[in-house]
Amino acid sequence: MLRRDAKVYQVPPATSAAGHRAADWKEAIWRGNVRIVARGKTLTIRLLDNGADSLFAQCVIPNGEHELYVERVVDSSRYWVLKIVNGSRHAFIGFGFSDRGDAFDFNACLADFKATWVDKAKEAEVMDALPMKDLSLKDGETIKVNLPGRSGRPADLAKQVLVCQSSSQWLHSCVLSLCTSAMFGDSWAL
């Protein structure tokens, strides 16, 4: 995502536990473009100068956990506080847009990245941790599959009933034959 006319502000310390207020910020100390780049589960917010696209600052968000690095202000939907990390040091800067549409796109980009890459990866890890269910046929169990015939004659319908028993090798060959007959329109009989 690339948006123009982003602004950066010097942020005074928060006056309450509720969070930062954009109304407390003075004049913008920088104006330029913002580019959001995703690589794997890492999201980077790059603040670029207008003319040369040289880097002013960047906020790297590992594992898509943007709540730790991007905080909304309490009094506006167009402004945030970014945590800029440089080695073991960090600083907080005010960041925002003049246009509400750009602010909405920025917020949606953060949420979509987390929903698409981070939350799905966590969900997959949870699913992998669950014990596998044994879905194999037990001795004596059968599966019956009725295949619709091309004509309504009872003789044709009777040929297209498949019963698979618990032998997994035999079941595998039944499924392959069933798929082949469905693909090529052959009548299939045991």
Domain 2-120 indexed as CATH 3.40.50.2000: no
Q: Is the dihedral of CA 53, 55, 61, 66 positive or negative?
A: negative
Give the pairing type, strands 2-10 and 161-164: unpaired
- Identify the three-state secondary structure at position 139: coil
Tokens (6 digits) for 23: 């109304």
| Spatial strand order in the sheet of 89-97 | 55-61, 42-48, 30-39, 2-10, 89-97, 79-86, 70-72
Polymer length in residues for the chain: 190
pLDDT tens digits, residue range 131-144? 777 778 788 887 77
Alpha carbon 44 to its chain centroid, in Å, reads 16
Could you tell me the pTM of the whole model? 0.60
Write down the pLDDT at residue 3: 83
Nearest alpha-carbon partner for 160 in 171, 150, 173, 172: 150
Give the type of residue at 155: A
Tell me the domain boundaries of the chain: 2-120, 143-184
Write down the pLDDT at residue 177: 53
pLDDT tens digits, residue range 83-127? 888 888 988 999 999 888 999 998 888 888 878 766 666 666 666
